């Protein structure tokens, strides 16, 4: 067996029976991920859709609501502070609970505190209160992204590779249930307590967000009950408390610089956006280019500040090397440059067809004449259960036939199900047809996601679990989201039918990448 085989073997030598595969769902580690997934799924919609409705009911202008998009930065750049989660011990808690559970408890406690902070703030009372709400939302996003990092690390370290697909399945199921609770559940509670679009009641949202904070105690209880992963860390380099404090200071200074670029460039960016939009005669493209420039400028400033603090001796050079550079060097050393680049291409492109189409999907449904109630019932609620079913199916197929075969099946079905949207576009408003398309699309998305998460987990080195997986999970949405930003422009230029054909075709190269990766990795799956 080659070195790559040892590093990436994802299936048992003998094919598991269907009965054995079903029994594996009742493994304690697999069930654990259901509750941790619930804990991870609750915060995100409390930042976005539910919060947006709260702000709208409170009479906040839409331009001010965009301020809260900063809360999403934590999800996009979680790999930056993942080394802290991987290596920084928490006084007392690490000794009591272990490294992973200590960070899990801290992040969950911070999530609860942020939700309660939001609950105790009435955004309609003053501009100062709205600013406080924004800071609370940013804290919630940062804490939630940190929880994602540590849960991913815990999942990878706590069980053998053949269980990873099933653990991914139950994690996806729990995550989706958490989103349902924080999305539809929060809206139902706010309405039940008396707040409506034309009759805003702050107390209703106070009660709603307080209940959401209480539901997060499920995650806390799970953290306290589960065992710490049995991982040998004797080989890891230890550092002094001063080194860790210096590292935290470097991170804080870099983040401050990143945020400062957005704060102080707001007016300039607005003027530049108007000028560029007029010059290009394309406002969406002008806005996208300005936003991209601001993002890269903020990253450059953050990197420069990090480099400067390191050169000034505030941070231990050896610690920076072991936390940021060695995880990347390890990945290229284990797979070689050519295979590593192939794997990175697969990671960055696997979900491209799905995400690019998903960006414009809600607008498409509305353009076909579907009401908000129909979209909520068919796409959001029914679609959620189909995604969960797809996740379980993906886990079963991965155990039965292997991760790479399931990964290929997921990519193939994504290409085919995207073509169903062409059929839907020609059919027009037909709820039965929408049920059929959503069934196929969401079932496929759940199946592919379960296999893909298991695949990413197999690529990590146990020495750098949190850092490497955080990089992979950030990369897998970066390119699709960038291209997805042009989806509206493409629809305006080509129409929905041609757009859906394009969205399907861009998934074809992914099939080739999966086949190449499977051959080069020489994964033993029988």
Range of the domain at 250: 240-315
The residue among 315, 344, 373 that closes a domain is: 315
DSSP string, 192-219: HTT-BTTB--HHHHHHHHHHHHHHTHHH
Would you place residue 475 in the very low, low, confident or very high pLDDT band (cuts 50, 70, 90)? confident
Would you place residue 109 in the very low, low, confident or very high pLDDT band (cuts 50, 70, 90)? very high
- Tokens 């619930």 label which residue? 38
The residue among 315, 334, 357 that closes a domain is: 315
- The answer to whether residue 526 is domain-embedded is no
234 has a pLDDT exceeding 50? yes
Tens digit of each residue's pLDDT (9 = 90 or more) over 379-392: 878 888 898 888 88
Indicate whether 289 and 393 sit together in one domain. no
Tens digit of each residue's pLDDT (9 = 90 or more) over 264-288: 877 787 788 778 777 777 766 676 6
Report the number of distinct structural domains present in the chain: 2
Would you place residue 237 in the very low, low, confident or very high pLDDT band (cuts 50, 70, 90)? low
Would you place residue 180 in the very low, low, confident or very high pLDDT band (cuts 50, 70, 90)? confident
**What is residue 85's three-state secondary structure?**
helix
Token pair of 227 as six digits = 């065992």
The C-alpha torsion from 81 through 84 and 85 to 86, rounded to 10°, is 110
Find out whether 161 and 13 touch, Cβ atoms under 8 Å.
Answer: no
Residue 284: per-residue pLDDT: 61
Tens digit of each residue's pLDDT (9 = 90 or more) over 292-325: 787 788 888 988 988 888 888 777 777 777 777 8
- The answer to whether residue 279 is domain-embedded is yes
Tens digit of each residue's pLDDT (9 = 90 or more) over 410-468: 999 999 999 999 999 998 889 999 999 999 999 999 899 888 888 888 888 877 787 88
**What is residue 92's three-state secondary structure?**
coil
Round to whole Å and give the CA distance between 57 and 55: 5
Token pair of 208 as six digits = 């709603």
**pLDDT, average across residues 347-373:** 82
Indicate whether 205 and 279 sit together in one domain. no
Residue 482: per-residue pLDDT: 67
- The answer to whether residue 235 is domain-embedded is no
Give this prediction's pTM: 0.75
Indicate whether 111 and 149 sit together in one domain. yes
Round to whole Å and give the CA distance between 113 and 119: 10
Indicate whether 40 and 179 sit together in one domain. yes
Find out whether 123 and 56 touch, Cβ atoms under 8 Å.
Answer: no
481 has a pLDDT exceeding 90? no
Tens digit of each residue's pLDDT (9 = 90 or more) over 367-378: 888 876 787 788
Indicate whether 301 and 326 sit together in one domain. no
Indicate whether 92 and 42 sit together in one domain. yes
The residue among 292, 315, 338 that closes a domain is: 315
Round to whole Å and give the CA distance between 418 and 337: 33
- The answer to whether residue 162 is domain-embedded is yes
Angle between helix 164-180 and 383-401 (nearest 10) = 170
Residue 61: per-residue pLDDT: 66
Find out whether 367 and 148 touch, Cβ atoms under 8 Å.
Answer: no
CATH code (residue 333): 1.20.1250.20
Indicate whether 107 and 217 sit together in one domain. yes
Indicate whether 128 and 101 sit together in one domain. yes
194 has a pLDDT exceeding 50? yes
Which helix (H) or strand (E) segment holds residue 364: the answer is: helix 352-367
Round to whole Å and give the CA distance between 58 and 200: 6
Indicate whether 264 and 220 sit together in one domain. no
CB pairs under 8 A, 24+ apart, for 48-57? 48/72, 49/183, 50/182, 50/183, 50/186, 50/187, 51/118, 51/137, 53/187, 53/190, 54/123, 54/190, 54/205, 55/123, 56/197, 57/195, 57/196, 57/197, 57/200, 57/205
Indicate whether 265 and 329 sit together in one domain. no
80 has a pLDDT exceeding 90? no
Indicate whether 148 and 288 sit together in one domain. no
Indicate whether 407 and 280 sit together in one domain. no
317: Cα within 13 Å, side-chain hemisphere? 4
Nearest CA to 83 out of 326, 285, 351 is that of: 326
- What is the distance, to the nearest Å, from the Cα of residue 397 to the centroid of all Cα atoms in its chain? 23
Average pLDDT, the chain: 81
């Amino acid at each position: 067996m080659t070195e790559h085989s040892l590093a990436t073997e994802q299936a048992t030598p003998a094919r598991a029976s269907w009965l054995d595969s079903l029994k594996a769902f009742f493994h304690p580690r697999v069930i654990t991920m259901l509750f941790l997934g619930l804990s991870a799924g609750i915060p995100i919609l409390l930042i976005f859709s539910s919060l947006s409705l709260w702000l709208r009911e409170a009479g906040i202008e839409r331009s001010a609501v965009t301020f809260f998009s900063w809360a999403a930065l934590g999800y996009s750049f979680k790999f930056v502070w993942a080394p802290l989660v991987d290596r920084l011990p928490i006084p007392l808690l690490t000794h009591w609970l272990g490294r992973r559970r200590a960070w899990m408890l801290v992040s969950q406690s911070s999530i609860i505190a942020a939700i309660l902070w939001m609950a105790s703030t009435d955004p309609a009372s003053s501009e100062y209160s709205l600013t406080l709400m924004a800071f609370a939302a940013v804290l919630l996003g940062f804490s939630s992204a940190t929880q994602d990092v540590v849960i991913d690390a815990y999942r990878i370290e706590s069980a053998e590779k053949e269980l990873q697909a099933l653990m991914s399945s139950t994690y996806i199921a729990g995550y989706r249930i958490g989103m349902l609770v924080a999305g539809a559940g929060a809206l139902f509670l706010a309405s039940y307590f008396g707040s409506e679009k034309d009759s805003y009641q702050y107390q209703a949202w106070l009660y709603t967000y307080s209940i959401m904070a209480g539901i997060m105690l499920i995650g806390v209880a799970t953290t306290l009950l589960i065992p710490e992963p049995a991982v040998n860390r004797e080989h890891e380099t230890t550092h002094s408390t001063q080194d860790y404090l210096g590292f935290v200071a470097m991170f804080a200074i870099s983040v401050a610089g990143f945020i400062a670029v957005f704060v102080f460039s707001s007016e300039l960016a607005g003027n530049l956006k108007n000028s560029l939009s007029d010059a290009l005669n394309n406002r969406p493209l002008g806005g996208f280019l300005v936003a991209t420039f601001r993002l890269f400028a903020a990253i450059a400033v953050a990197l420069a500040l990090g480099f400067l603090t390191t050169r000034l001796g505030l941070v231990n050079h050896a610690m920076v090397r072991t936390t940021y550079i060695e995880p990347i060097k390890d990945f290229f050393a284990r797979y070689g440059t050519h295979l590593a680049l192939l794997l990175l291409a697969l990671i960055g492109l696997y979900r491209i067809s799905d995400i690019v189409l998903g960006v414009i999907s809600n607008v498409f449904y509305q353009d076909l004449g579907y009401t908000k109630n129909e979209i909520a019932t068919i796409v959001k609620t029914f679609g959620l259960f189909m995604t969960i079913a797809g996740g379980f199916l993906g886990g079963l197929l991965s155990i039965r036939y292997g991760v790479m075969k399931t990964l290929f099946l997921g990519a193939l079905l994504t290409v085919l199900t995207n073509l169903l949207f062409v059929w839907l576009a020609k059919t027009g408003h037909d709820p039965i047809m929408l049920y059929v398309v959503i069934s196929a699309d969401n079932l496929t998305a759940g199946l592919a996601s379960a296999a893909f998460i298991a695949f990413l987990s197999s690529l990590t080195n146990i020495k750098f679990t949190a850092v490497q997986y955080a990089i992979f999970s950030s990369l897998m949405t970066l390119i699709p989201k960038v291209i997805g930003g042009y989806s509206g422009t493409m629809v305006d230029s080509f129409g929905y039918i041609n757009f859906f054909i394009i969205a399907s075709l861009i998934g074809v190269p992914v099939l080739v990448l999966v086949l190449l990766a499977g051959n080069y990795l020489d994964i033993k799956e029988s």
